[in-house]
Structure 1
Amino acid sequence: MRYLIFFFLCSPFLVSAQDTIFFNSNWLIGDKENASYYSTIIPLNGQKYQVKDYSINGELLSECDYKALKQAVDWTRIYEKGFHEWAVEDGVCTEFYPSGNKKKQFEFKNGVQHGKVQMWREDGSLLRSYTAINQLANGNYKEYLADESLSFAVNFLNDTLHGLATYYYPNGKISQKGTFKSGLKYGKWQYFSEKGENVGSEMYRNVFFIAGPDIKIHFPNGLWCLSDQYEEDNRINFLFTRSGIKEDLKTEFVPTCLVSLEEVGENTRLLDYSSARRRRLSVDVHKVISKDQHLFSLPNTMGYLASYIDKGKNKHAAIVTHSVQNNIGVELILDLRQEDYEDLKSEIVTIIRTLNR
């Protein structure tokens, strides 16, 4: 029996009653007199423990369930690298505001965040909720306004936006809805007024088919969308905008691609159509794109490099192509800031090169 007693006396971290450990301002073990924080280690059942962290004045900061992996756990090293050799989070972990209201609550399984996640504002209102699987957001993700009505509801797949998404006005009406695919907008997106009226839509796809000339236009990386379609001066216009990730550009200007169609007659030559359109363009043409560059997959097509200065005295690069297909003149104008040209050059080449029937 005395050997058993000696074993317990020599194992102070085998907690059989509540232990208190004091830490300095860096959460390293320290003495009580100079401590900034302290933790209590409370045995639950089996190998389960609850750890509660406090400021030195007794303010509860967090509480978390742990599972011991070894019989002897050195709880003094709980916030040091490598502690997971002794014990891991397993169960519910909660952080608190100074008021005592919950701030965050997570679920863990064998040291990995796995389960429901909730976050609150300091006044106690719910801010967001989602599910984590292997520490990554998966499934429905919701954020709430101060009155806990929905701000938006989206879906995640392994921490990436993927699936249906709906955004709301404070009055509860839908402001926009659509679908994400691998983090980017995809398919049809609809936009609404606060009264619920449909005010517009965008179409996100990698490939768009335009009837009449029967051509396909390809946009790389899913960053472009069909934002408008309208008729003007007997011309049908399709306006595409680069509405995806903007962090890769130097300016805030949104690049556009305008495709315009008009009937030109059965005997209209490409050169005649292109010359007529050039006279009407408000850009300075600098260079004809040589056929030797092999940029045009679409037969009966030619192009130009151009530029212009906008009202804000910003220089724009413009790439213009003209084509005649099925007795329809097709004009494509890519418009972007000169500073963004090099960053977008590969996208521009892809758009022009993949324009085909």
Structure 2
Amino acid sequence: MRIVLFILVLLPMFVFSQINQTDSNGLKQGLWQKKQANGRPVYEGEFKDDKPVGEWKRYHSGGQVKAVITYKGDTAQTQLFDVWRKKVAEGNYINQQKEGVWSIFNNNVKVGEETFLSGVKNGVARRYYDTGEVMEETEWVNGKETGNHQVFLKSGEPYLKCKMKEDERDGLFIIYFENGAQELVGEYKRNLRHGEWKYYNKSGEHLYSLFYDNGQILNPAVRDSMDNLRMLDLEKNKGEILDPEKFLQDPSEYLMKNKMIR
């Protein structure tokens, strides 16, 4: 009986002695843990020859799991969670830098994905409607939006297309009606309206044009008269339609607000 009690007394000491250990060469080995002053965990996982291996967990200050990381060589397969234990992102780190496709979640539903190369956003990024359809698709080069930027209706038909260069609109810019007809065709030059901007109705008929020179409108009287007509139409249909002109900098917000009205 005394031997059993002796073992039970020493066992916790033995287990504790196996945590946060280094070998004779100073390399971390085995189970490692860190805790807050209140005893709640900060992280826990295993090392082999000073490198993390297997599954690691990191925690929020309240004790909820913040990250689950599975190490396989230089790759760390990572899932991130909020304090309500809902997944917010998942993807891979290679040599401590984001690599490949990272998925983004809201309330455990995938709402987007981004592509990384050596920790920098490169390639295609997408945002999704909460029902899974692609809402927005952008192209990135070395951390800056460069290439095609497209916004889609839930039907999959395009709502907006434009060209980007280093986070600025630069080139062709088109907005579409729900029936696929072009509503607006223009051009940006270093994020400024430039050249002729053509406006059409749903039947494809040209209504009017506005002309710009590096953001400066050349025929403001036409713009003002059309704005007045638009305001009258919006006032007549107050609460039923939105003015897409006010959402050109964030067209996906227009689609979400317009969906809520309808």
The two structures have a TM-score, normalised by structure 2, of 0.64
Whole-angstrom distance in 1 between the partners of 2:168 and 2:142: 14
1:8 deviates by 2.1
- Please name the residue that 1:224 is paired with: 217
Per-residue CA deviation, residues 169-197 of structure 1 (Å, 9 max, x unaligned), is 11111101021111111111111101111
Structure 1 unaligned residues grouped into runs of 5+: 25-33, 69-86, 206-220, 228-238, 243-251, 254-357
CA contact (8 A) 1:224 1:240 kept: no
CA contact (8 A) 1:225 1:241 kept: no
- Please name the residue that 2:58 is paired with: 21
- Please name the residue that 1:48 is paired with: 75
Pair 1:171–1:47, CA change in 2 (3 A): same
SS at match of 1:123: coil
Larger helix proportion, structure 1 or 2? 2
- Please name the residue that 1:151 is paired with: 159
SS at match of 1:16: strand
State the one-letter code of the partner of 2:30.
Answer: L
- Please name the residue that 2:132 is paired with: 124
**Equivalent residue for 2:210, pick from 178, 197, 202:** 202
- Please name the residue that 1:351 is paired with: none
1:166 deviates by 0.8
Is the aligned partner of 1:93 residue 2:90? no
CA contact (8 A) 2:182 2:200 kept: yes
- Please name the residue that 1:60 is paired with: 87
Is the aligned partner of 1:38 residue 2:66? yes
Whole-angstrom distance in 2 between the partners of 1:20 and 1:173: 52
1:139 deviates by 0.8
Q: How does 1:166-245 map to 2 (within 5 A)?
A: 166-205=174-213, 221-226=214-219, 239=221
Per-residue CA deviation, residues 18-60 of structure 1 (Å, 9 max, x unaligned), is 1122212xxxxxxxxx32443111123x311111013466532
- Please name the residue that 1:164 is paired with: 172
State the one-letter code of the partner of 1:38.
Answer: K
Structure 2 unaligned residues grouped into runs of 5+: 1-22, 33-45, 229-262
Worse overlay, 130-139 or 15-24: 15-24
SS at match of 1:131: strand
Per-residue CA deviation, residues 288-345 of structure 1 (Å, 9 max, x unaligned), is xxxxxxxxxxxxxxxxxxxxxxxxxxxxxxxxxxxxxxxxxxxxxxxxxxxxxxxxxx
CA contact (8 A) 2:64 2:85 kept: no
CA contact (8 A) 1:15 1:41 kept: no
Whole-angstrom distance in 1 between the partners of 2:110 and 2:89: 9
Whole-angstrom distance in 2 between the partners of 1:240 and 1:55: 51
Per-residue CA deviation, residues 120-169 of structure 1 (Å, 9 max, x unaligned), is 12121211001111221111100112222211001111111100111001
1:222 deviates by 3.2
State the one-letter code of the partner of 1:116.
Answer: V
Superposed CA RMSD: 2.7
SS at match of 1:151: strand
- Please name the residue that 2:114 is paired with: 106
CA contact (8 A) 2:149 2:164 kept: yes
Whole-angstrom distance in 2 between the partners of 1:180 and 1:89: 32
Whole-angstrom distance in 2 between the partners of 1:151 and 1:38: 37
How many pairs were matched up? 188
Q: Percent identity?
A: 20
Pair 1:225–1:36, CA change in 2 (3 A): farther
Whole-angstrom distance in 1 between the partners of 2:26 and 2:195: 70
Whole-angstrom distance in 2 between the partners of 1:57 and 1:224: 50
CA contact (8 A) 2:210 2:217 kept: no
- Please name the residue that 1:8 is paired with: 29
Pair 1:93–1:240, CA change in 2 (3 A): same
Whole-angstrom distance in 1 between the partners of 2:27 and 2:97: 28
